[in-house]
Amino acid sequence: MATLAQAVACVALIALIFLCLLWEALLAPIRPGGSLLMLKALPLLLPLFGLLRGKVYTYQWTPFLALAYLCEGIVRAWSEHGVARTLAFTEALLTAALIASAATYARVARTRMRTSD
């Protein structure tokens, strides 16, 4: 269960990073030619190596960071049209998967640490 949760969290985070970059640079930028809003992907790089290495503490604080992206995805899915709406729904789904899998991994890992003592 922990390995599946870790894999889902890592894939969701990496996909979310690429989605944020491609969305604001190429697919549906706010301004033609891209916008600086693609810099919103930078905070997502902070937990990347911790998640890949299985650091429990990183899995515990990553959902708090991801909540901002979930809110953005929901708001933009509500307000945007066309391709941007589809990208916003995708962002919300990836973020929800990241939050759920990170919380699951942290819970399972914490339980394992308690039982091994």
The amino acid at residue 95 is: T
49-53, 79-83, 92-96, 109-113: which has the minimum mean pLDDT? 109-113
Report the phi/psi class of residue 35: left, alpha or beta, with left for phi > 0 and alpha for psi in -120 to 50: beta
pLDDT-based confidence at 114, cuts 50/70/90?
Answer: confident
From CA 31, how far away is CA 98, in angstroms rounded? 28
Query: What would the two tokens of residue 111 be?
Result: 């339980």
pLDDT digits 0-9 by tens, 10-58: 999 999 999 999 999 999 888 887 788 889 999 999 999 999 999 999 9
Indicate the SS3 state at residue 35: coil
55 Cβ contact list (under 8 Å, min separation 6)? none
For the chain, the domain total comes to 1
Q: What is the pTM of this model?
A: 0.92
Answer for the pair 102, 63: CB distance below 8 angstroms, yes or no. yes
Domain of 51, in residue numbers: 2-116
